[in-house]
Amino acid sequence: MNALDVRELRLRLPGTARPVLDGVDLTVAPGETVALVGESGSGKSLTSRAALGLLPPGAVPAGEVLVDGRDVLTMDAARLRELRTGRAAMVFQDPRAAVNPLRRIGDFLTESVRLTGTMSAADADRRAVELLDAVGLGPELMRRYPGQLSGGMLQRVMIAAALMGDPVLLLADEPTTALDVTSQAEVIALLDRLRERFGTGLLFVTHDLGLAAAISDRVYVMYAGRIVESGPAEALFERPRHPYTAALLSSTPRLDGPTGRLAAIDGQPPDLRQELTGCAFAARCRYATDTCRDEAPGLRPAPGRPGQPAACHHPLEGSPADV
């Protein structure tokens, strides 16, 4: 059984002419790291939050979001609370926005399991100390306040808090954006070690393709609320099939890449207040034809390249530099 199964997920919001999520399918197996990448506004965070039932006001969902085999979209408030304190957890972008600065770290770590009766106070304290050790921090932090910790240390605390309920699924939504480069590398390595140690499925949401390449087994590329390509990380980054994936890779700085100005993706994603016909990327794609503008492509497998489907009428071959 997968840690996460998203099947034909659609999400409509008030004031939009089309779904903000439009038929999203993705899976995360136990012990697997899956990256969800794309520009800001592509729907990555909405997709990850749907796994916890954290939907915006007025949202109308359709499809299935299965965590450990149970559909989150049909859960009542009590079962959602149980899910969020046990089977699934999220590490958010800014750790300081998620903690009360007036409460000690120990109280923050143990609060959810104590209030839900999952553990006794003594067991919760022991579990918190074990997890602080697992993320490379000492037991003395139980008595400290958030303001006494650096950003990197506090993000480690957030990861420990996410693991308190022994989740099958860990959602990491841009967890390193607020950190310096050194702390970013430490947190990425830590997530990878903990995923192996606890066998937790990890969905890593990011716009940074370098981070996605460093940590993920598989990658989903998202654009305008749709999955446009997916596949094993190494194959997808070396030989992207969708022009959007290739454009993202070409705009990513690399030590072994060309010097000078980075390539840019001209234009903007389509407006949610307008109906959309054809491929969502057609207006920004140099390979677009009338077919692309008139007919939305579905995800199609590539001959000889199993496991790397792309939603494109004219899929690419070759490396990003060739396209």
Residue tagged 């770590």 (tokens): 109
pLDDT higher at 175 or 146: 146
pLDDT higher at 102 or 165: 102
**According to the model, what pLDDT value does residue 195 have?**
86
Q: Which residues pair with 220 in a beta bridge?
A: 36, 230
Closest CA to 211 of 41, 33, 48, 40: 33
Q: Which residues pair with 171 in a beta bridge?
A: 90, 203
Domain layout of the chain by residue ranges: 4-97+167-322
Tens digits of per-residue pLDDT, 272-309? 998 988 999 999 999 999 999 999 999 998 877 678 99
Structure tokens at 252: 């990513």
Asked if the model's pLDDT at residue 11 lies above 70, the reply is yes
Distance, in Å, from the CA atom of 79 to the CA atom of 68, rounded to the nearest integer, reads 13
**According to the model, what pLDDT value does residue 106 have?**
95
Tens digits of per-residue pLDDT, 200-248? 999 999 988 888 988 899 999 999 999 999 999 999 999 999 999 999 9
Q: Is 171 helix (H, G, I), strand (E, B) or coil?
A: strand
pLDDT above 70 coverage of the chain, percent: 95
- Could you give the count of Cα atoms lying within 13 Å of 11 in the half-sphere of its Cβ? 30
By DSSP bridging, strand 169-173 and strand 88-91 are parallel
Structure tokens at 134: 């697992």
**According to the model, what pLDDT value does residue 192 have?**
86
pLDDT band per the 50, 70, 90 thresholds, residue 119: confident
Distance, in Å, from the CA atom of 73 to the CA atom of 59, rounded to the nearest integer, reads 11
Distance, in Å, from the CA atom of 95 to the CA atom of 107, rounded to the nearest integer, reads 16
HEC string for 3-53: CEEEEEEEEECCCCCCCCEEEEEEEECCCCEEEEECCCCCCHHHHHHHCCC
**Average of per-residue pLDDT values in the chain:** 89
Taking CA 212 as the corner, what is the angle to CA 209 and CA 217, rounded to the nearest 5 degrees?
Answer: 140
- The architecture in CATH of the region 4-97+167-322 reads 3-Layer(aba) Sandwich (3.40)
Tens digits of per-residue pLDDT, 56-93? 999 999 999 999 999 999 999 999 988 988 889 999 88
- End-to-end CA distance of the chain: give it in Å, rounded: 38
Distance of CA 249 to the CA centre of its chain: 18
pLDDT band per the 50, 70, 90 thresholds, residue 257: low
pLDDT band per the 50, 70, 90 thresholds, residue 258: low
**According to the model, what pLDDT value does residue 194 have?**
83
pLDDT higher at 31 or 321: 31
Asked if the model's pLDDT at residue 322 lies above 60, the reply is no
Asked if the model's pLDDT at residue 323 lies above 60, the reply is no
For residues 184-209, average pLDDT = 87
E strand spans, 257-312: 300-302, 305-310
